[in-house]
Amino acid sequence: SLPTIYVITPTYNRLTQIADLTRLKNTLQLVPKVVWIIVEDSLDKTDKIINFVFDSNLKIVHLVEKTLPTVKPSGTVGHKGVEQRNRALKWLKESNVANGAFYFADDDNSYDIRLFEEIRSVERIGVWPVGLVGGIKYEAPICKNNKVIDWFFVYNPRRYFPTDMASFALNVKLLHEFEDIYFERFTRGDLEGVFLKKFQIKMNELEPKANNCSKIYVWHTRTRKEIIKSGIDFDKEIMKQI
């Protein structure tokens, strides 16, 4: 049978949250055998996301994990979604999921549904290009004879693997093979590399996906911060959905 894909999405209360999650929901509805793990950056489940989950025709695991106030990124400094992704990893380990692949899908990225079939076949760690990231049009593994031999990137060359969260997926069996599989809060801009390093994998052992890393199936788009004038509330029912 088809392996399940566990899609892990950290999300927090911003004006575009439901709009972003709706785009992702509609994408995932086109993909078979998906479990969507939504982790709210919140102390408790919010009505907004409870209602969103209730309204969705998808298999969703709704979790919460609040970003610690002391480590909350200010402005663009610091990593986002760390505690939330770790909460999902904990869920995967505790649920004893034995088969399938998992992927970290931020709420505001853009996904081609073909990405998910690439993820499904990941045996250990699969990688592929990401559009609009790292200050360039795309970052990408450079492949030869179906092996990753190098990476195309500009941002922070000290990274262990110079790649974005959206560029890789892992087989869940790795969570049972290795200990301490979680994201570190302080990595000097190398959240992904420090995480991937834990699997003691060499570049040439990564599985190139998306037609030998020649296709872009995911873009690191970012929703613009919306500014609204407060106090304008025409309809309570509509207002609740924003």
Q: Say which entry of Mn ion, ligand UDP, none residue 93 contacts (CB below 5 to 8 A, set by partner kind).
A: none
| Strand 101-104 relative to strand 130-133, pairing | unpaired
Q: Is 108 annotated in some ligand binding site? A: yes
Find the shortest distance in angstroms from Cβ 19 to ligand UDP.
12
Task: Compute CA distances 116 → 83, 105, 169, whole Å.
Answer: 24, 11, 10
| Strand 218-219 relative to strand 110-111, pairing | antiparallel
User: Binding residue for Mn ion (CB under 5 A) from 40, 83, 108, 139?
Assistant: 108
Can you state the percent helix, strand and coil of the chain, rounding each to 5?
Answer: 30, 25, 50
Q: Which stretch binds Mn ion (CB under 5 A): 88-96, 142-150, 161-169, 220-228?
A: 220-228
Q: Which stretch binds Mn ion (CB under 5 A): 25-33, 103-111, 158-166, 169-177?
A: 103-111
Find the shortest distance in angstroms from Cβ 4 to ligand UDP.
21
Find the shortest distance in angstroms from Cβ 106 to Mn ion.
4
Report the site for Mn ion in 166-205 (rule: CB under 5 A).
none
As a whole number of angstroms, the distance between CA 148 and CA 129 comes to: 12
User: Binding residue for Mn ion (CB under 5 A) from 65, 106, 190, 207?
Assistant: 106
Output Rg (C-alpha) for the chain, integer angstroms. Answer: 18
Q: Which is nearer to ligand UDP, 11 or 163 (CB)?
A: 11
How many residues does the structure list for the chain?
242
Which residues of the chain form contacts with ligand UDP (CB under 6 A)?
A: 9-12, 41, 67, 80-81, 84, 106-108, 222
* Catalytic-role residue among 40, 118, 139, 192: 192
| Tokens (6 digits) for 165 | 């969260």
CB neighbour class for 66 (10 Å; exposed up to 12, middle 13-18, buried from 19)? middle
226 has catalytic annotation:
no
Under 8 Å between Cβ of 180 and 198: yes
Binding residues, as ranges, are 108
**Residues near Mn ion, by CB under 5 A:** 106, 108, 222
Task: Return binding residues for Mn(2+).
Answer: 108
| Residues annotated as part of the active site | 192
